[in-house]
Amino acid sequence: MPAGFRILPRARAVAPAIVERFRPLPVANVSDSMSRLFAAGPRIRPMHKGGVMAGPAFTVKTRPGDNLMVHKAIDIANPGDVVVVDAGGDLTNAIIGELMLAQMVKRGLAGIVINGAIRDSCALAQQDFPVFAAGVTHRGPYKDGPGEINVPIAIDGMVIEPGDMILGDDDGFVAIGFDDAATVLAATEAKQAAEEKQMAQIEAGTIDRSWVDATLKRLGCEGV
């Protein structure tokens, strides 16, 4: 099978129970629990009305401005999957618009991420279906290929493999590797519990802020 124009099966995917436990967690806290080392860059922004995106990755690598393989991915992805498209970051031609979004909703997908552009932005902005993209253009896509489905891709240095956990909110999206999902989930749940405790202390006026001066002194700051 030639590299560059192929459709591969997905060998594994994070379990639905893992997806549901990640769903209420902020992307920022997940990112912190991954050592603040993994991100898809600030260009990939939510384009929908609002709401969380959570599900296993169904990856697509396509030629910039071409959406043939994205159409195929929408047809064969499982309900609950997040289609993640590496379109090279080019914003010249849109990869999806309102009609493709309607098809994804009909098929029960969980969202789409595009390192590329969308169009029909007003219509997409009125929908709850999660759409994350790098920009907007009115120019439509080509449908000639090539492209690949269910291969490892990378967006701004963040590697995404088929079946990885994808989580997105207003801050952006993050991919959690299949093998790391359980560990990152436990760490993020612990961080979330700690932050909830801190918030209660802030509201009660009992939080200990002595660490600020202690840090400044340790770093040699004058005037502390």
Binding residues: 97-100, 119-120
Distance CA 156, CA 224 (A): 40
CA distance 70 to 149: 8
> Which residue do the tokens 């990755």 mark?
57
Residue by residue, what is the 3-state secondary structure of the chain? CCCCEEECCCCCCCCHHHHHHHCCCCHHHHHHHCCCCCCCCCCCEECCCCCCEEEEEEEEEECCCECHHHHHHHHHCCCCCEEEEECCCCCCCEEECHHHHHHHHHHCCCEEEEEEEECCHHHHHCCCCCEEEEEECCCCCECCCCEEECCCEEECCEEECCCCEEEEECCEEEEECHHHHHHHHHHHHHHHHHHHHHHHHHHHCCCCCHHHHHHHHHCCCCCC
| Residues placed in the known binding site for Mg(2+) | 120
- Enumerate the known binding-site residues for substrate: 97-100, 119
